[in-house]
Structure 1
């Protein structure tokens, strides 16, 4: 068990219901100062970031800031990570936009109401997963699916933001093909002033990222964009549009819709967002927990995220998740406890009241350029190269996940990737291999290796290592592999299966072992299970299959197995065999080579695969 999942058992008490009551021993003057400074840094960063993510989500700009106040505080109070910061995220924002545009006009009151309702539904799902301790479900989302999904999100963000990056007057869309075609067709109408502002923002962000990691790149990027926008509008009035002044107010009260038809309509989207959001939380939380040597309770983190979304929906918040940029910045800024995230939310509330009018100087082009940087950062080139080199199966899962995200539905990408990953897993595990094994005659310790040239096998007894568990999906392949292994040497009747690579046996697998044992005995042979692990052996014991196979045929150690099995061989053949495959053969003395015996012992030199 990893340190991020291993959490000490807690007795039920006030701290169980209110986890923040356990923070007391962590407080000190130095820690409070560090947390408050980290909170101030986080509040400054979320000003442009919150507006940017609201832009992706199709929400009015101020809602990106509303979602960074109450939900951030609630997630910190009820989560277990000291550094994870909740807030609007790129993936959740994009999925929300892609889903809700089919039901309401972007930015309309109905659109906002649906987004708030979606936050409440997502929160209830996350809360349920945490309360019922189902956090392990996210383990079914493979690394390949995560990389493919985030890459698809990144590409989609970059393509859909080109309209604002170049100043094109084309309809806003979340469909990849439409965004690409629309950009190409409208390219001749590109605004020079808007493009220059975007490039200035982009250049400032890239330079800042390369020069230092202490200052979040989005801050100098946005400042450069604002300055470039002011200059452009002075030279060519009204050539560069801006976000406009935001309302000077705290998050207004709101309420999700309880209409059954609306809830049913949003259910698939809520499920997709909950899965992707929780995966972000787990990925970010574990990464930071490892760096800070902190134990992370995944289920408690789900509870925190669930409450953040549910309670946030009553304070004009749309869906939030773990924010990688803000969480990493929080850690790098020296945060010690969750107080940093709480203070970030509270400071942002104060800043919003006083600094909201400054958004009048924030160009849409600068927001688009900063989002281009965000989208590019989501494409993990190193992981993509590693996955591509790993084989056809992982490549297929990767391409399918990206393809569904770009060409079908972004909200279905993770589900499609998980489904295909499980299919690949079932295919792999349903085709176990039997690899012929022999002691290496060139090794003094007679270490067991794959049979091959110069490594002969015993003419009476063959050993093979089974790679893969024996369950209902693999039974037919296992029996086919064993029969093929048997046909290679028709004169050999006794077979030993090294079970070290078998972690699991179910009812169908146990029945198959018993059936194959009876069949070999009927033909004058036998089947032996060697190096069997405790869990499979326990299952065979409980079902009575050890008695059917024969207790004398089941061995925990290889040494004991070879000692007893060689004692059961035809010693007349042994006395005429000069191969001396096993150490135990020495007891029968040396004898003349027998060509027939040696010929019958010729190695096969290759594993016996199951059906493919």
Structure 2
């Protein structure tokens, strides 16, 4: 019987075959416990995230079911759990609230369409092997955006925390101004429920960290609100508003509405959400993989996230990505394989069927208290301090992203942070380090040194270039060459130590050729030392190397000095007292 072997080019279709055949009973038991823990924890989170996104509460739970299963099956991480997240929810609300009323049928339709578009972009990037793209998004962008999202979450929950009937749309300053206008309408009952929920969550998280603090906090808040409505309703006046009963059903089938108008309106948001969602998922996956002692495949994660969102759009799930909270809980609960995330999605379906009606006892004020906790937990104060103290470049990226997210559109904040980080990266790579190197007679074997006090050879200058020589860095390198010729015209020979050059493009090769020709016209020459094979191949392919250039390339400094010394003007050497090289004394 012939055994079927899948074409390696299609291996992305069955990544689960790498871990499923080796699954043991011990692994399955650990995954089962982790899955049950994760399913319980996601209940309050899913509802909270849906509220942030402007979606009906049950959609936050739907987004944690089918998408989580698909992402686990087709991803490469053993511990990453996908589902709704705070950042994705904030972006969703910010982008869609201008097109439709949050919670309305049109709003849900747009959310599902956006989810499908994000999934298609993610899948396309994965199939195109573009997983390395997230490496170009500075971590400071993620930190700044997440911190700003946390502030916005808290600001948008002020109306529920204090029981104020106000418009919580808009930017931070607009929300605060609107709250100031309604501050005299604060409800003591709603504020008490929210405050007790918040303090309960803080206490449980600090003193009993093994217990899911969100669930305990919401239970306490719900019981308090129920008691106040029943026994103290006359004293406090209006009844405390609740979320309302959730439908105890599995995710209903749905479909995106791919009209040209929707695609045009949602395209910028889809791209921004894709960038952030993939960065978030891959970052979490890599972090957990490092702790678990394995590696993840960025391209496969792109594919897994893309398929999960495409599937989610047909099962009433809005944009899902790697979840900080669920993935962390999954890891800490002892998960060993992606089976934990798969079972977590299945268990969540079963739990929703049983407990969804109980949401009618969940106060909106308690939800606000929990979301205050979520917002506080999102701000990585340690990493922010590290950024502020370590690098001006990263500080500027962080501050631009943070400020843009607070006072401009969230999608623009992501693009602004990414663009600035790329500009700073290009600025850094366009100015490769160029240092003068000189043999040090004080060291054994006259080792090369960058000490500026060392005497230079009157005819020969050694330079080391650290960085790529491409179109962006050519002007900087040419300026250095011009300045050297102008300040030291007597040093007609130039030896370029190329061990730090990893890449040369056509313009870079032409710059080297131009410099060699100018030095030959002045009676000198240029030489390359320790050229990497890849760079040598590039120089050959562009046709910039002449036959005589081959004789000017050396693979060691000793060979270069011996060869170049023969070409120096011996009349100058006769009166030179520097004796830079060992050959000078012969």
- The TM-score, its normalising length taken from structure 2, stands at 0.93
Counterpart in the other structure of 2:407: 407
Aligned partners of 2:306, 2:152: CA distance in 1, in Å? 27
Counterpart in the other structure of 2:335: 335
Counterpart in the other structure of 1:322: 322
Measured at CA, do residues 583 and 375 of structure 1 come closer, stay the same or move farther in structure 2, by a change above 3 Å?
farther
Measured at CA, do residues 581 and 389 of structure 1 come closer, stay the same or move farther in structure 2, by a change above 3 Å?
farther
Counterpart in the other structure of 1:593: none
The SS at the match of 2:554 is: coil
Measured at CA, do residues 231 and 480 of structure 1 come closer, stay the same or move farther in structure 2, by a change above 3 Å?
same
2:120 to 117, 120, 124: 124
Measured at CA, do residues 463 and 363 of structure 1 come closer, stay the same or move farther in structure 2, by a change above 3 Å?
same
Aligned partners of 1:428, 1:124: CA distance in 2, in Å? 33
Counterpart in the other structure of 1:556: 555
Check conservation: 1:205, 1:221, Cα contact below 8 A: yes
Aligned partners of 2:561, 2:159: CA distance in 1, in Å? 73
Aligned partners of 1:15, 1:540: CA distance in 2, in Å? 37
Deviation at 1:232, TM superposition (A): 4.2
Counterpart in the other structure of 2:576: 577
Deviation at 1:10, TM superposition (A): 7.5
The SS at the match of 1:120 is: helix
- 1:66 maps to 2:62: yes
Aligned partners of 1:156, 1:492: CA distance in 2, in Å? 62
Deviation digits for residues 312-358 of structure 1 (CA, Å, limit 9, x no counterpart):
22221111111110011111111122221121111111111111122
Deviation at 1:302, TM superposition (A): 2.0
Counterpart in the other structure of 2:93: 97
Aligned partners of 1:57, 1:549: CA distance in 2, in Å? 67
Aligned partners of 2:377, 2:338: CA distance in 1, in Å? 26
Any unmatched runs of 5+ in structure 2?
A: none
The SS at the match of 1:249 is: coil
Counterpart in the other structure of 1:509: 508
Deviation at 1:231, TM superposition (A): 4.5
Measured at CA, do residues 398 and 583 of structure 1 come closer, stay the same or move farther in structure 2, by a change above 3 Å?
farther
Counterpart in the other structure of 2:276: 276
- 1:308 maps to 2:304: no
Aligned partners of 1:395, 1:188: CA distance in 2, in Å? 39
The SS at the match of 1:497 is: strand
Any unmatched runs of 5+ in structure 1?
A: 1-8, 588-612
Question: How many residue pairs get matched?
Answer: 578
Measured at CA, do residues 15 and 452 of structure 1 come closer, stay the same or move farther in structure 2, by a change above 3 Å?
closer
Within 5 Å, give how 1:125-204 maps onto structure 2: 125-204=121-200
Counterpart in the other structure of 1:353: 353
Counterpart in the other structure of 2:379: 379
Deviation at 1:531, TM superposition (A): 2.4
The SS at the match of 1:545 is: coil
The SS at the match of 1:579 is: coil
Counterpart in the other structure of 1:422: 422
Deviation at 1:507, TM superposition (A): 0.8
Check conservation: 1:500, 1:532, Cα contact below 8 A: yes
Aligned partners of 2:209, 2:445: CA distance in 1, in Å? 54
Counterpart in the other structure of 1:50: 46
Deviation at 1:445, TM superposition (A): 4.7
Deviation digits for residues 430-457 of structure 1 (CA, Å, limit 9, x no counterpart):
233432222334433533222423x221
- 1:484 maps to 2:483: yes
Counterpart in the other structure of 1:534: 533
The SS at the match of 1:172 is: coil
Measured at CA, do residues 197 and 581 of structure 1 come closer, stay the same or move farther in structure 2, by a change above 3 Å?
farther
Check conservation: 1:15, 1:22, Cα contact below 8 A: no
Aligned partners of 1:506, 1:14: CA distance in 2, in Å? 34
Measured at CA, do residues 162 and 310 of structure 1 come closer, stay the same or move farther in structure 2, by a change above 3 Å?
same
Check conservation: 2:137, 2:422, Cα contact below 8 A: no
- 1:450 maps to 2:450: yes
The alignment's C-alpha RMSD in Å is 2.3
Aligned partners of 1:401, 1:153: CA distance in 2, in Å? 11
